[in-house]
């Protein structure tokens, strides 16, 4: 089963902005309670949508450049990127169904 990717300031452009498929980025931190709540959901989705959507996490404490570039002010923040552009943002711990339905809008068949 596929696992969530690890995104960083160093690989964000190649892994996210230049990805051929839509990408869900989970901006999170180890100390964030709601981030811990949705972590299993993110992992589940990474497995279920493998090959359709690239799913990964970006630790905001370790990767502040990317966090600032996208104006992340509260976490968890989930951003969906397609063709190098941010196309959607979900803020706060979201139920799996809400994340899934957002992703399906951008998924390529």
Which amino acids are annotated catalytic? 32, 35
**Residue 27: helix, strand or coil by DSSP?**
strand
Q: Which two tokens stand for residue 37?
A: 């709540």
**Cα separation of 24 and 66, whole Å?**
14
**In a 3-state reduction of DSSP, which class is residue 80?**
strand
CA distance 26 to 5: 10
């Amino acid at each position: 089963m596929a696992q969530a990717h690890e995104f960083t300031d160093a690989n964000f452009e190649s892994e996210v902005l230049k990805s051929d498929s839509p990408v869900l980025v989970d901006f999170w931190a180890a100390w964030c309670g709601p981030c811990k709540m949705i972590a299993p959901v993110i992992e589940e989705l990474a497995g279920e949508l493998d090959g359709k959507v690239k799913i990964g996490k970006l630790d905001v404490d370790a990767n502040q450049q990317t966090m600032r570039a996208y104006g992340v002010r509260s976490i968890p923040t989930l951003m969906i990127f397609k063709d190098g552009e941010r196309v959607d943002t979900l803020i706060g711990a979201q139920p799996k169904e809400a994340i899934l339905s957002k992703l399906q809008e951008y998924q390529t068949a």
